[in-house]
Structure 1
């Protein structure tokens, strides 16, 4: 017969085995749950909204077109934009905007194929405080303006965008392969071009005053032979 001491030893061994198995199970569950934990928060404050205004970045591409990103930030929500483009160049040298896409985050809110000097409304479908317009401009370069090897003159029209609660400055940045030599603002077909803006780390920055917000730009660029 099994003695009381032997039965106690057997029971103790069983308890130890059960405890070990339970501990292993707990460790496995902790490991599995830990793999699904969300990443720890950085704990930093949320990013501050951009100040109100318009930031327009125009880039001369390898095919001679202009790629434009036009960001608008407002203090109060807006749901409609009104767009137009001033025709400040002669008919034979007028650049054309190929189309506009308006986005907020990853959502496309509006599109417009043809842009003229007549204001057109773009309904956004919801109220937003930040939108980005993207479009291409073609017909900006003219070979007749090239009098020095590798030097080109780009005509940059201004897309006028009106909206409620408009405030803040307009910053126009021009970037291009090669070196931007100078930029001139054009107020009308009758007025002579005048120097404007200054070189910065990205290319050339123009910050027009309110009366000059619709001015077109003439951008003189010295290209390397392989740029365009």
Structure 2
């Protein structure tokens, strides 16, 4: 091999190493935006008029297939740099439920984090860009109770959203709205850490045409919801 060909081969090896290294870094766990392009633009719907002045507004829509489409608007007194999230089954069964295709955006539509899946294991999501107002969306899979209902046409939805925590979260209000392709008959609240023997308590009130809402604050701010829906 001539000296020129040897030099060309050495350059090619270096290029391959650099490309592979860049690909490895782009898929590492340290990439807050996951598999989506960091900072890419999309749509962040404006905050609903019924959202609290500070805290979270969470809309959970139960589909006819049992999946739950969730939208969340967050307003905090200080910029949020990371979110603590998990999708927890009331019976604490590992791997029983997961939230899919989580996108976190600023209100001008910039993507600041993405996760393909958030399951029953706790995750810390670091945002590309701290912001005091955020919008995120995802779908809960496995939320419907697999047990047969005693009343035909009725189902129990056991998981209506992820557990979400961030700095200053405890100072606000979490307003939850549950809608469905059918009718939401009632809601029940369950405090995390209350144990498997604890009974969910009725909470919230009916609004609109078959929807249900509840405001959570103080010691109840992190309550998980269960809903009974009718086709």
TM-score bracket, normalised by the shorter chain, equals 0.5 to 0.7
Aligned to 1:192: 199
Runs of at least 4 residues off by over 6 Å: none
The change in CA–CA distance for 1:150 and 1:106 in structure 2 (over 3 A counts) is: same
**2:228 corresponds to:** 220
1:90 deviates by 5.1
Who is 1:63 aligned against? 65
- Of structures 1 and 2, the larger Rg is shown by 1
Q: Select which of 82, 85, 90 maps to 2:84.
A: 82
Q: 1:158 to 1:97 in 2, by over 3 A?
A: same
1:156-167 → structure 2 map (5 Å cutoff): 156-166=159-169, 167=171
Query: Mind listing any 5+ residue stretches in structure 1 that lack a counterpart?
Result: 1-48, 224-228
With normalisation by structure 1, the TM-score equals 0.67
Q: CA RMSD in A?
A: 2.6
Q: How far is the alpha carbon of 1:164 from its aligned partner? A: 2.6
Q: How does 1:123-202 map to 2 (within 5 A)?
A: 123-166=126-169, 167-187=171-191, 188-201=195-208
Give me the whole-angstrom Cα distance separating, in 2, the residues matched to 1:93 and 1:199: 32
Runs of 5+ unmatched residues, structure 2:
1-50
Q: Distance in 1 between matches of 2:230 and 2:112?
A: 38
TM-score normalised to structure 2 length = 0.67
CA change 1:93–1:191 in 2 (3 A) is: farther
Measured at CA, do residues 111 and 83 of structure 1 come closer, stay the same or move farther in structure 2, by a change above 3 Å?
same
Q: What does residue 99 of structure 2 align with?
A: 97
